[in-house]
Amino acid sequence: MYELKIALRQVFSRKRQTFFAILAVALAVAVITVMMAMLSGFQGELIKSSTENSPHIVINPQDEKDGFIHLYKSNSALIMEKEGVIAVSPKYLGQAALEYKDNAEAISLQGIEPEAEDKVMRVSKDMIEGSFLSLTHTRHGIVLGDKLAENLGVQPGDRVDAVFPGSKTTSFKVIGLIHTGTEADEVTAYARLDSVQDFFNEPGVVSTIGVRVSDPYQADIIASSIERETELNAVSWIEANAEILNLLNTQKVFVNVFYILIYGIAGFGIANTLITIVAQRTREIGILKAMGASQKSIMIVFLFQSVILGAMGLVLGTILGYIATITLQSYKIAVPQEMYFGLQTLPLEVEPLNFVYAAFFAFIINIISGIYPARKAAKLDPVKAIESA
C-alpha cells in the first residue's frame, strides 16, 4: 500500500515536529491515566471502608423514642436465615466514663457478642494486643482503643472502673487494645453484651443489629426485605453513603469533561503537525495528484500519518502513565482527612481498563484531528499546488 509508505516517509522526515506531536499525545494519555488511577483508588478505598470496616446493613429500632430493639434474639435468628446474609451482630451502645487512678475518659461502650461482632466488623484484624475473641470467656473483660488506653494510662492487665449515672460502678479488666487509625481509637471500648446490658440496667434489649452480606451490592435489596419482615428500620451502606456516592458520580462528569479537554489539546498538536506538513508538501501533493493519485488516496495518506502519530503517542503515554502511577503509589502522599472522607493518604489503583479507555479515546481524538488537514490536502488543485510551490 503506497499510501502507508508515503505517510511513514513524511512522518519521519520531520523528526522535530513528529517528536513534539507524539509527546503531546503521550503527556495527555499519561496525565489522564494517572488521574484515572487516583479516581479509581479513591472510589475503591471509599467503597472498601464502607463495606469492610462497617456493617453492610445497620438495623435500628422502628420507634426512635424507644431507642431499643426488643426481641433481638428472634429478630437476629430470622435475619440470619435470609439468603445472602453471612453474619448478624446485635449490639448495645452506651455512653459512659472510664476511670483509672486519677484519670477519667468519656467512652462509647459497645456491648457485643464477640464472635458475631468479629464476623461483621472484622475487629480482630485491628487488635494490636490481646485477643478480641477472648472477650467471650471473660465476663468483665474490656478491649480499648489504643489512644483511649494511652489517655487513661492503662495497660492490658489493669482494671478500670466504668461509671454511668444511675448504674452501679463496674470494674473491667483490660484484656486487649485495638488500633483502627481513626478517631474511634480515643473513645471505643468493647465488652460482652450481657455485661453491658447489666451495667446500663437494660436487659433483653440492644441498640442496633449489624449485618454482613455475601454481596455488598445486594445490601439494598436485603435491607428492604428485612424491613418488610421485621418492621425494623434497616439501612444499607449504599443508602447511608448515598450523598457521597452521588457526589462521586457528579465528579465523574466533570472529570470526563476535563479528559476531553486534554485529549483535545493533544489532538490540536497532531492537527497542527499535519497542517504544517500539508503546507510544506504542497508541491509533492500536487505531483501525486498529477500522476493520478485520487483525492481518497491523498486523504488516506494524511489519515495514516494521524494514526501513526497517535499510536506512537498513546503507546509512550501508556508506559509513562504506568510508571508515574507506580512511582506515586510508592509514596504516601498525605491528604486532609476532612476533605477526603477520612482517607489519610492519596490512594492510587492500577486498573488495566483505565489504560485501555485512555488509549482508545486518545486514538479516536487523533483520527478526528487528522480529518481536516487530510481533507485540505485532498482538495488541493494539482496545477495550482505545483505552481505555488
350 against 366, higher pLDDT: 350
Residue 32 pLDDT = 83
Indicate the range of 12-16, 121-125, 244-248, 272-276 predicted with least confidence. Answer: 272-276
State whether 197 and 279 are in the same domain: no
Is residue 74 situated within a structural domain? Answer: yes
Q: In percent, how much of the chain has pLDDT > 90?
A: 38
For residues 230 and 80, is the Cβ–Cβ distance under 8 A?
A: no
Q: How do 103-112 and 188-192 pair as beta strands?
A: parallel
Domain contains 306? yes
Identify whether residues 247 and 298 lie together within a single domain.
yes
237 part of a folded domain: no
What value does the mean pLDDT take over residues 75-91?
Answer: 93
| One domain, residues 253 and 225 | no
Cα–Cα distance for residue pair 205/140, rounded to 1 Å: 19
Q: Are residues 70 and 44 in the same domain?
A: no
Residue 238 lies in a domain: no
- Determine if the pTM surpasses 0.85: no
Of 76-80, 146-150, 309-313, 360-364, the poorest mean pLDDT is in 360-364
Q: How confident is the model at residue 191 (pLDDT cuts 50, 70, 90)?
A: very high
Q: Is 143 helix (H, G, I), strand (E, B) or coil?
A: strand
Residues 185 and 264 in one domain: no
Do residues 259 and 160 share a domain?
no
One domain, residues 189 and 312: no
Does residue 265 lie within any of the structural domains?
yes
* Contact indicator for 351, 191 with CB cutoff of 8 Å: no
DSSP per residue, 55-109: -SEEEE-S-TTT--EESHHHHHHHHHTSTTEEEEEEEEEEEEEEEETTEEEEEEE
Does some domain include residue 57?
Answer: no
Residues 286 and 366 placed together within one structural domain of the fold? yes
pLDDT score, position 11: 75
Per residue in 200-257, pLDDT (tens digit) is 999 989 999 999 999 888 999 999 999 998 889 999 988 888 877 777 777 778 777 8
**Nearest CA to 35 among 349, 352, 316?**
349
Q: What gap in Å lies between CA 239 and CA 243, rounded to an integer?
A: 8
Do 378 and 298 meet the contact criterion of CB atoms below 8 Å apart? yes
Is residue 115 situated within a structural domain? yes
Q: End of a domain among 210, 231, 252?
A: 231
pLDDT at 171: 94
Domains of the chain: total: 2
Altogether, the residues listed in the chain come to a count of 389
Do 247 and 362 have their domain in common? yes
Looking at the structure, tell me whether residues 10 and 93 fall in a common domain. Answer: no
| Average pLDDT over every residue of 311-326 | 89
Q: Are residues 79 and 204 in the same domain?
A: yes
The cell numbers describing 198, all together, are 447489666
Q: What is the band of 340 on the pLDDT scale with cuts at 50, 70, 90?
A: low
Asked if pLDDT for residue 127 goes beyond 90, the answer is: yes
Q: What is the pLDDT averaged over residues 355-367? A: 80
93, with CB counted inside 10 A (0-12, 13-18, 19+), is middle
Asked which of 168, 196, 231 is the last residue of a domain, the reply is 231
On whether both 133 and 278 belong to a single domain, the answer is no
**DSSP states of 366-384:** HHHHHHHHHHHHHT--HHH
Tell me the CA distances in angstroms from 357 to 33, 139, 364, one per residue in order. 9, 57, 11
- Among 208, 231, 254, which residue terminates a domain? 231
pLDDT of residue 383: 67
- Residue 275: is it exposed, middle or buried by C-beta count within 10 angstroms (0-12/13-18/19+)? middle
Task: Please name which of 205, 215, 170 lies closest in space to residue 57, comparing C-alpha atoms.
Answer: 215
Query: Does the residue 236 lie in any domain?
Result: no
Q: What is the pLDDT of residues 260-313, one digit of tens each?
A: 777 777 777 767 776 776 666 666 777 777 777 787 888 888 788 888 888 888
Q: Provide the 8-state DSSP code for 4.
A: H
Cell numbers for 195, please give them. 455485661
**Residues of the domain holding 267:** 2-51+243-388
